[in-house]
Amino acid sequence: MISWYGVIVVLHIVAIISWMAGLLYMPRLFVYHSQVAPDSDSSRLFKVMERKLLHAITIPAMVAAWVFGLTLAAQIGLAGQGWLHAKLGLVLLLTAYTAMLEKWRRDFFVDRYPRSERFFRIINEIPAVLMIFIVGLVILKPF
């Protein structure tokens, strides 16, 4: 028999995968966008791709990950769960990172290139590093 808890876990994992896909791909789009001339056909195409990725996939997946994750956290209880508190702190950083991606997307949208190609190549690594720590906390529960 399928439990509702199992269904919430599945939905949480799918939401995380979708959110991470957006977080890992969006800076790559910014790398390529920063290489083209403002108001060019390529720039207009990147604007559409960036908006759709962020607004149709990444942000809805982030919201779903929070909703399903908090539902699960409520079931296991937060008291004495140091690893869970640390995880939530790192997830807050991913949420702030998502907000920054939206800010940079809006800058690109008005042809104001916010940062260099190199900058976006470097920050592209942030979600992967945070993901390693988050998964480690969830699986190992070190404290």
Number of domains in the chain: 1
Strand, coil or helix: what is 79?
coil
| Whole-number pLDDT of residue 108 | 97
Closest to 74 (Cα-Cα) out of 3, 5, 1, 143: 5
Q: Which residues of the chain have pLDDT under 70?
A: none
Q: How high is the mean pLDDT of the chain?
A: 96
Q: Which amino acid is at 84?
A: L
pTM score = 0.94
| Whole-number pLDDT of residue 78 | 73
| Whole-number pLDDT of residue 77 | 80
**Residue span of the structural domain in which 35 resides:** 4-140
